C-alpha cells in the first residue's frame, strides 16, 4: 500500500477546493468571535466600569472638598449662637418649667390671676413631621384688656407656642373669666448623625433674618429661667 501523502494532489481535488472556500472563513470568523467574547468584551466592560468608578471618585472628591471649604469658612461663634437660639425657640425636649415661666410672666405682666393650669400631651400630628407638642390649659381672670394683652404676649414669645383655643365669660362689669389653651412645640434631636455624603445645610438669608428676630425677642423677653444647676425634677412629664 502506498502511504505517501501527495499534498499537490489534495489541493487539486475538487472537494478540498470546494470546502476550503467555506471552512477557512468559517473557522476564522469563529476564532474572531471567540476572541471578541472571551477577551475584547470583558476588557471593554472592565475599562468602562473602571472609568465610571474613576469619575465617581472624582465627583466625590469634589463634593468633599467643597464641603470641607464650607466647614472651614463657618464662623464657629456665630454658628453656636444660631444653634442655641434655634434650640431655645424649638428645643429638643418639652422643657415644661421654662415654658410655664412664659405663661406665668404673661399672666403677671397683664395683671391677671391664674386660677388653675393643667398640662397634657397633644395628639400626634403626622403632618408636622418630627415636631411634637404639649398643651397648657389655663383658667385665668382679670380685665378684658388684660386678657387681650395676655394673648398677644403668648403669641410673641420667642419659644414656639400658640393659642389654639380661647373662651371667656363676664364676671361683673370689668372682670372676665377665661380658659386659654396654649400649644407648645418641641422637636426631639436626632439619635444618629447624618451620613458624610449628605450635603451641608446652609443658612439662607431668610433664615438669618428669622434668627436675628428670635435673638432680639429673647433679649426683650423677661421670662424667668430656672437655675439648671439645682435639681428641678423632670422636664418631660410624659416620660
Does residue 89 contact residue 159 with C-beta atoms inside 8 Å?
yes
What pLDDT does residue 210 have?
87
Domains of the chain: which residue ranges? 13-73, 90-190+204-220
Asked whether the CA dihedral 55, 60, 66, 69 is positive or negative, the reply is negative
What pLDDT sits at residue 191?
83
Distance between CA atoms of 229 and 235, rounded to whole angstroms? 14
Through-space distance between the first and last CA atoms of the chain, rounded to whole angstroms: 108
What is residue 15's predicted lDDT score, i.e. its pLDDT? 58
Q: Give the tens place of pLDDT for each residue, 174-213.
A: 899 999 999 999 998 888 888 888 888 878 888 888 888 8
Q: How confident is the model at residue 18, as a pLDDT?
A: 60
Strand partners, 180: 138, 166
CATH of 90-190+204-220 given 3.50.50.60, 3.40.50.300, 1.10.10.10, 3.30.70.60: 3.30.70.60
Q: Band of the pLDDT at 137, cuts 50, 70, 90?
A: very high
pLDDT reported for residue 227: 39
- Residue 23: half-sphere exposure toward Cβ, Cα within 13 Å: 6
Amino acid at each position: 500500500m502506498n502511504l505517501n501523502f501527495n499534498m499537490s494532489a489534495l489541493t487539486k481535488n475538487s472537494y478540498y477546493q470546494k470546502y476550503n472556500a467555506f471552512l477557512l472563513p468559517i473557522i476564522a470568523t469563529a476564532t474572531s468571535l471567540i476572541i471578541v467574547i472571551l477577551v475584547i468584551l470583558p476588557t471593554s466592560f472592565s475599562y468602562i466600569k473602571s472609568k465610571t468608578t474613576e469619575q465617581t471618585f472624582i465627583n466625590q472628591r469634589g463634593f468633599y472638598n467643597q464641603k470641607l471649604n464650607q466647614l472651614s469658612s463657618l464662623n464657629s461663634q456665630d454658628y453656636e449662637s444660631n444653634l442655641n437660639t434655634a434650640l431655645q425657640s424649638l428645643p429638643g425636649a418639652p422643657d415644661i418649667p421654662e415654658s410655664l415661666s412664659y405663661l406665668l410672666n404673661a399672666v403677671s405682666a397683664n395683671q391677671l390671676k391664674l386660677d388653675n393650669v393643667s398640662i397634657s400631651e397633644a395628639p400626634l400630628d403626622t403632618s408636622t413631621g418630627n415636631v411634637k407638642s404639649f398643651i397648657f390649659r389655663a383658667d385665668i381672670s382679670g380685665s378684658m384688656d388684660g386678657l387681650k394683652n395676655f394673648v398677644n404676649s403668648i403669641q410673641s414669645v420667642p419659644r414656639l407656642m400658640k393659642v389654639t383655643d380661647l373662651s371667656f365669660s363676664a364676671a361683673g362689669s370689668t372682670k372676665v373669666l377665661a380658659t386659654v389653651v396654649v400649644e407648645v412645640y418641641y422637636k426631639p434631636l436626632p439619635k444618629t448623625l447624618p451620613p458624610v455624603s449628605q450635603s451641608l445645610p446652609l443658612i439662607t438669608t431668610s433664615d438669618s433674618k428669622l434668627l436675628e428676630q428670635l435673638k432680639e425677642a429673647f433679649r426683650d423677653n423677661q421670662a424667668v429661667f430656672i437655675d439648671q444647676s439645682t435639681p428641678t425634677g423632670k422636664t418631660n412629664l410624659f416620660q
